[in-house]
Structures are given as C-alpha cells and as structure tokens.
Structure 1
Amino acid sequence: MAQTTPGAPEGCQGCQGCQGCHQRGLRAVEPVLALATLALGLQGPLCTQFLWDRLGGGPSSNGTSGPQPSPCRGNQSQQGTQEQELETLVAHWNLYLNLAGFLVGLFAVTLFGPWSDHVGRRPVLILPALGMALQAGIYLAVMYAQLPVGYLLAGRILSGLSGDYNLILAACFAYAADVSEGPSRTFRVALLEACLGLAGMGASVLGGPWRRAQGYVAPFWLVFAASLAAAFYAAFVLQESVGQKRQAKLFTLRHYASVARLYMAPSRGWARKKLALYSLAFFLVVLVHFGTRDILVLYELSSPLCWDPVLIGYGSAALYLSYLSSLAGLRLLQRWTQDSWVAEAGLLSNVAGLVTIALAATTPIMFTGYGLLFLSMMVTPVLRSKLSKLADETEQGALFAAVACVEGLCSLVATGVFSSLYPACLHFMKGFPFLFGALLLLLPAAIIGWIQIQDSRPDYSHFSDVPDPSLEDGRIN
C-alpha cells in the first residue's frame, strides 16, 4: 500500500512532493494571494486619494467624476497652511481606519489561524476574501450615496471580524509550509511574496490612470470583483493541503493557547529564543515597510513633487517591482551564501532606498530611490522561512497566525508612528520619517547577524531551525 506524503491532500497516493497535484494546478495557492493583493493594492492608494479629495472638498469628492486639479497647483500664497492641515487630517483618518481593522482582526486571526491546523486552510481563505468584498461594497455605498467618511470605519470593522487580508496572508504562507520542506521552503515563500509584488504592481499601474479617467467608483468595483474571485477560487478550485483534517471547535481558548505555547514553552530552549528574536526582527522590518508606504502617497501628492494619479501609480508599480527583483536576487544569492546574509543584503538595499527617498525633491531622484529598493523584499521571505522551520508541521497555522498578528500590530504601530511623525516634520524636513525608518532597520540587521554568528559556533551548531527534539519526542509518544 502506498504511503501518504505528510501534509498531502485527501486522495494523495504518496507522490513525492505531490508533483502530480502541482501539475494539475490543484495546490497553487498563489492565485488567492494574487487576487487579494490586487484588491488591496487598488484599495489602499485610492482610499487615501479619496480621503484627500473628500476632506479637501475637491470636485471629484463624490468619487464618480474624472480628473481634477491637484491642490499643489493652486494659489501658492494660500497653499502652505491649507495643504499641511489637509495632510494632517488625511493621515489621522488613515490611522483611524487601520486601528479599526486591527483591533478586531487581532482576535480573528489568532482564532482562525490555529483552527486551520485542524479543519484545513480553505475555510480560512474563503472567509476573509468575502470580508474584503463586503468592505469594498461599503466603500462603494459611501461613494454612491456621498455618505460621511466615518462609514468607511464600518467596512474596516466587518472585514477585520473575518480576519481581513492578514488572515489570507497567514493561510497562504501556512499552505506553502504544508507543501514544501527544507531549502525549497524559502524560495516557495519568496514566490508567494513575488505574487504580492506582481499583483500590487498591476494594481498600481491600473489604478492611477483609471482613477484619473473615471474617478473612484469603477476601480472599487474591481476591488469587489477580485475579492469575490479569491473566495471562489479557494472554495471550488484549490486543493486542501492539510491531509489529516480533524473536527475542532472554533470558539475556544485552546486556539489562543496554541499560539502562546510557541513563544512560552520552556522545552523549546534555544529555538524558543530564536523564535522571539526573529519575530522582533520581522516586526521591525514590516513596521518600516508599512509605515513608509502609509505616507508615500501623501509625500508624492504634496509639494515639491506634486505628482498626479498617473505618476503615483507608476511610483507604486516601481515599489512593487522590488518583489520580483528580490525574488531573482534571492534565488541567485542562495547559490553562494546562507539565507541570513541574503537578508542582510536586502536590508542594505532598503536603507539605501529610504535615505534617497528622504532627500528626493524631484521626480528623477524619487525614482532613483525606488530603484535602490530592488533587493529590499528579500528580508521577509527569509524571516518567514526561518520562523516556519522553528515550528512543528502541525503548528504552521498557529505560527503564521502569530506572524499575521505581528503584521497587524505593525500596521497599527506604523500608522500611529509614521502618520503622526509625518505632520510633525513638515516644518523642518518632510522626508525625515524615511530617515527614521532607515535607522530602525539597523536593529534587525544586528539581530539576524548575531543569531547567525551564534548558530555557527560549536556550542550552538546542534541547534538547527527545528523545534526542540525532546518536544517532538513528547508529541510522538
């Protein structure tokens, strides 16, 4: 009788690595992530611009009309104070929206993520995709009916209750861990992150010109359709990656306890300390990514750059292109060096790009900064892979739920820090938040380098990126 591959889907007859399933396209989770990212990539910049127009009383503030003049092109004698007030107001509304999504999403992700270790990944992919579609529907209602922008908070809360985009990330990366092992895991995770870049780049190139031509309503209909398509694919096309599904209660504290055990079980020893340190490094890296992206559109809309929607779209596309260039760079550098040093190279690229953007006063310099970020996204796949290898096969959902919570916390803290720091720096250096982000990245660089040095010592060399052996024996028995 053929032996079933661990983590294989139902009906698998023991194929090595389930290559047949891959060939049939049954285990490709990338389309779910790509569609969800397309929706999010369109929604993020468009929502910021919609708030800019609505709160500034622009001619297209109802979201249905076409192009309008930028506030940068108005009377220069009156522009300064009004523009700074508007930037501050929009930055604060971004904070409110992110805060509303995080507070409810934190509990949803840590509930649904560990639950997926028992019942499978597909249910926790379908639910948040439907939640994102519901949020897009509420945003459309605000635009059509010209409702107050406060109603946008209702969409964020409802999407957060379903797990939001962070749960899709958690389930997709847990799915990748289910179907990969060893050295291939880092590249499989990087491939998923490349899907983030490809979908985000398409959304950026499409969103700017489309919004300029037709306003906000038409692009938001695509957000709604892409979210529904992600739910449909997960429900009817995607093959389940959890082979031994079990009945499990959803509303129980055990799911939260399984996340806590990852970081608190003393039997994990050095692996537990590494898990905490890598999580801290991941938090700092994603904090800078989220924080700088939250203010990029405002930075580009206002003087001295005064970009129009088309240039904003091209800038976002250039930023997302770093996902693809980082995938190629990771694949190439893995041939000559270890993953930790690959991550260090990515951090160097990130620091160089942020410093250049902080000093950008013209469009060519701004795009030079985007170009220097070409390897910046090599860091997060390395960290996700290292974290995944520190957890057992039956804990991948709990682990990536914890990682998703870290990302959600990053979104909240990043918005609070950078959206508050940006208005405070307008009077002396508008680009200072980007310099601040570059300085923060020195901390994860130190953490990753220190762990790599410790692991290379004889006293630590027997501690590999796996759970403590005694703990595994305890599970088996």
Structure 2
Amino acid sequence: MDAPSPGEPGALAPAEEAPRSEIAGRSRVWRGYGPVEPIIFLASFSLVLQGPLTTQYLWHRLGAEVGYNGTSRGGGCNHTLDPKQQEVETLTSHWSLYSNLSGFFVGLFSATLLGPWSDSVGRRPLLVLASLGLLLQVILNILVVSLDLHVGFLVLGRVLCALFGDYGSLLGSGFASVADVSTTSTRTFRMAVLEACLGISGMLAGILGGHWIKAQGYQNPFWLALATLIITTLYAALVYQESVPSPQRVPLFTLHHYRSVFHLFTAPAPGKSRKHLALYLLALFLVLTIHSGTWDIIVLYELSWPLCWGSNLIGYGSAAQHLSYLVSVAQVWLFQLCLRDSWVAEVSLAFNIAGMVVFSVAKTTTLMFIGYGILSFSLVITPVIRAKLSRLVDRSEQGALFSCIACVSGIAMMVATGIFNSLYPATLNFMKGFPFLLGAFVLLIPAILIGLLEKSDPRPEYQKSLH
C-alpha cells in the first residue's frame, strides 16, 4: 500500500516532516552546482544530428535494396516522378512510422511512471536514466551503419530508449526543473531560454551534420552523437544541481505515480481549473502534432523532385528550422513589453500558418528558405503553453504535469506519424505539399482555443500583467 502524500489523510503536516526530510535529503543526495540547460543542449544536439542522418541513411539504404540510385550524398536526383523514387519515399516513410509507433507505446507507460517519481526522488535520477536510454539508441544506430544490420534494429534502439523515458522525459524533467526554481512572472521567459538551447544545438547539429555526411558518410557523425550523450549522462549524474528541495527515497514501480497524473485533473486545489488544464493540453497537442508531422516528412520533401537537395542543403534547412527556438527568446522578451502571453502565442501561430502555406507550394530552394524564415517566428507558442500549464499546478506536481505533457507529446508524435507518413505518399500524385496545407488549417484550432481561454481566464496571475 502506498504511503499517503502530503495533504491526504494520514500524512504528516509539512511543518512536522520538513526537518527530517531536509536532513535526510542533505545526507544522501549530491546537490551539484550546474544548471539543467547544458543537459538539454547536449541531448538535443545529439538527436538533431541523428534525425536527418537516420532518414537519409534509410533513404539510401532502402534505395540500394530496390535498385534506385537517383540520389547520392553529393545531391542531385531524377527530375521526374520515378516510380522507384516513390517506392523509396514510401518505404522510408513507413520505417519512420514503425520506429515512432514502437517508441510511443513503450514511452507512454515509462513517462507517466518516471515523471511523478521525479517529484519525490528529484530530477537527477530521471535525467540520468533518460540520457542512458538515448545512449543505448545511438549505440544501436552505430552498429546498424557499421555492420549493415537490418534496419529493424533502428526500431529496437527506439524501444530501448523509450524504456528509459525517452527524450520526452528528459525534456519534461528539464522544464520541471526550471519550474522548480522560477517564479510565475519569469517562468515563460525561462522556458523560452530553455527552448533556445534546443534551437542553438539544432542549428549547430544541422549545419555540421549536412557537411559531414557529404564529406565522410554516415558513420562518423553517429560517433559524435555517442560522445555527446556520454558527456550528457556524466553531467546529469555529477554536475547538475538538484532542483527538488528535499528528495526522498520512494519506490519506482508503484501505482501511486500513475495516480499522481490522474489527480492533476481530479483533485481539488485552490484556483485549479480542470477546464483550463484540459484545453491548454489540447492546444499543445494540436501544435505538437503539426510540428512533429511536418518535420517528420520535410527531409523526404527536400530529398525528392523538384527540390532534389543534397545533404549540405538539408543541413542548412535543419539549421534554419531550429532558428525558431532561438528567435523565440527575443520574441518573448520583446512582445511581453506590450502584449500578454496569450497574444504573443497568437502572433506565433500566425507566422506558423503562413510558413506552412509557403512550404505547401515551394518548388524552389529560394521559396523553401522563405518558408523557413517565416517559421523562425513560430515556436513561441510552446513555451507559453508550458508556462501557463505549470502555473495551474503546485510545485510538488511539476514532475507529474510535465510527464503528462510528455505523454501528450508522445501521442502527438504517434498521431502525426500515422497521419503524415501515410498522407505524404498518398498525395504525391496530386499535390506533394498537401500535408503542409493541412497543417496550416489545423493550426487555426489552437489559435481559437488560446484566444477564448485568454478571454475567460479568471486568474490574472496566469496572464502577462504580473505584478
């Protein structure tokens, strides 16, 4: 039977348990001295380096198996709708689907277990576990590329990574750590700064990966990803400063952690609005679905006719894609001077919709980079929603909340993968850019939701004008 948590019948009052827990926490927990941002930066660098790398490897590996050689690492492709090219696009898209679905179903259970667990034991154990999972995945990727193993081992690596919480749990723990140490008035900006780490690492990895593949092939960039994740794991274990004040030893495998997520929507609390929690999560789900889905197919879109990009241009495209995270920091800081958070998010969504429309009709490199430029103003929406959600729950519930957000992200990725990786090959013959146009239309829904929630929000501390 689980021990009662604070606030439940039979629990010790905070004043009674604080001295003992603080002493115990200090006696057995290495507090560290470093912020969480380097962990997110290094892990994101590794993943962004591997993302286009894995897609391009699948493209050329599967292309060789079906006898298609229309592309090479040097670039160039057949300027016709070659049936074999379409077959390679479809196979690559389907293997991406298998990988993402397998990771989602495993990660759905691990994330909801590990996130609430970190509210008690601290953020460090989850950061270390998630880093180890990413490390196992890149090791299997290296073995596939080096030994020409079956591409199904890439799926196995994804499953092993998900067992340890996956990148979603690592990112969620990072945001929970920021929520632990920030105030309600600074939280949106702090989360935008954390997301900027994603942008800087993505830009560097995108540019480096594209040129490196062109020069030396696939294997060496994977080795860099491995080295980066080793450093990430060591930093999380030895340097990161624990943000939970009094970590406690609690069992990992218990239903209490799953109930903590459920209690977010059922347990009464001062000022908590279940409606706002649910609707902001829905808005986040729709945004992440479109981002995940379109980003999942964009490398295929760029590799094939009529764009026919090589690995260097794909690297520049990936860097431009991640510029959005960096721009979001300046955008939040500037717009918060005159706009509430929700209206900052609305401006971001407007740029997002416009960028998707440009992508849907892009047939030249110039037009693609115009779309990337427009989208560079589009990612403020995610830190705004995360900050609003974190203000709706207590500090002791941040891990449960961000594990819930990680699950929403996983569901969004699953839905996006299922829809976009099936829709893209199905629409190649009549409108290749149709998935981007669909994404622009769907983003109108969170724009409407956020506007309505801003108008009906009864608690001014959730708005920009904090005093």
Fold similarity call, TM over 0.5: yes
Structure 2 residue identity aligned to 1:340 = S
Compared with structure 1, are the counterparts of its residues 429 and 59 closer, same or farther at alpha carbon in structure 2 (3 Å cutoff)? closer
SS in 2 for 1:376: coil
The answer on whether the counterparts of 2:74 and 2:214 sit within 8 Å (CA) in structure 1 is: no
Give CA deviations for 1:391-427 in whole Å, capped at 9, x if unaligned: 1010000000000111111111111111111111101
Alpha-carbon offset, residue 272 of structure 1: 1.1
Q: Which residue of 2 aligns with 1:444?
A: 446
Q: Which runs of 4+ in 1 moved over 2 A?
A: 58-61, 66-70, 264-270
- Any stretches of 5+ residues in structure 2 without a counterpart? 1-17
Q: Which residue of 2 aligns with 1:195?
A: 197
Alpha-carbon offset, residue 374 of structure 1: 2.0
Compared with structure 1, are the counterparts of its residues 58 and 312 closer, same or farther at alpha carbon in structure 2 (3 Å cutoff)? farther
The answer on whether the counterparts of 1:129 and 1:227 sit within 8 Å (CA) in structure 2 is: yes
The answer on whether the counterparts of 1:210 and 1:219 sit within 8 Å (CA) in structure 2 is: yes
Query: 1:449-460, aligned counterparts within 5 Å?
Result: 449-455=451-457, 460=458
Query: 1:318-333, aligned counterparts within 5 Å?
Result: 318-333=320-335
Looking at structure 2, the residues matched to 327 and 363 of structure 1 have their Cα atoms a distance apart, in angstroms, of 27
Matched, 1:177 2:179: yes
Give CA deviations for 1:338-388 in whole Å, capped at 9, x if unaligned: 000000010001011110111101011110000111210100000000000
The answer on whether the counterparts of 1:58 and 1:68 sit within 8 Å (CA) in structure 2 is: no
Q: 2:64 aligns with which of 57, 62, 70?
A: 57
**Aligned residues: CA RMSD:** 2.5
TM-score (norm 1): 0.88
Q: 1:162 aligns with which of 144, 161, 164?
A: 164
Matched, 1:80 2:82: yes
- Any stretches of 5+ residues in structure 1 without a counterpart? 12-20, 467-477
Looking at structure 2, the residues matched to 10 and 353 of structure 1 have their Cα atoms a distance apart, in angstroms, of 49
Q: 1:32 aligns with which of 20, 26, 39?
A: 39
Matched, 1:368 2:370: yes
Query: 1:266-305, aligned counterparts within 5 Å?
Result: 271-305=273-307
Alpha-carbon offset, residue 128 of structure 1: 1.1
Matched residues, percent identical? 53
Moved more, 25-34 or 140-149: 25-34
TM-score (norm 2): 0.90
Alpha-carbon offset, residue 10 of structure 1: 6.8
Compared with structure 1, are the counterparts of its residues 424 and 60 closer, same or farther at alpha carbon in structure 2 (3 Å cutoff)? closer
Q: Which residue of 2 aligns with 1:14?
A: none
Alpha-carbon offset, residue 59 of structure 1: 12
The alignment of Structure 1 onto Structure 2 pairs a total of residues equal to 440
Looking at structure 2, the residues matched to 152 and 461 of structure 1 have their Cα atoms a distance apart, in angstroms, of 47
Q: Which residue of 2 aligns with 1:470?
A: none
Looking at structure 2, the residues matched to 107 and 198 of structure 1 have their Cα atoms a distance apart, in angstroms, of 31
Structure 2 residue identity aligned to 1:105 = G
The answer on whether the counterparts of 1:128 and 1:162 sit within 8 Å (CA) in structure 2 is: yes
The answer on whether the counterparts of 1:271 and 1:390 sit within 8 Å (CA) in structure 2 is: yes
Query: 1:197-236, aligned counterparts within 5 Å?
Result: 197-236=199-238
Q: Which residue of 2 aligns with 1:44?
A: 51
Alpha-carbon offset, residue 264 of structure 1: 2.7
Moved more, 167-176 or 268-277: 268-277
The answer on whether the counterparts of 2:210 and 2:313 sit within 8 Å (CA) in structure 1 is: yes
Alpha-carbon offset, residue 201 of structure 1: 0.8
Q: 2:253 aligns with which of 251, 254, 273?
A: 251
Looking at structure 2, the residues matched to 151 and 270 of structure 1 have their Cα atoms a distance apart, in angstroms, of 45
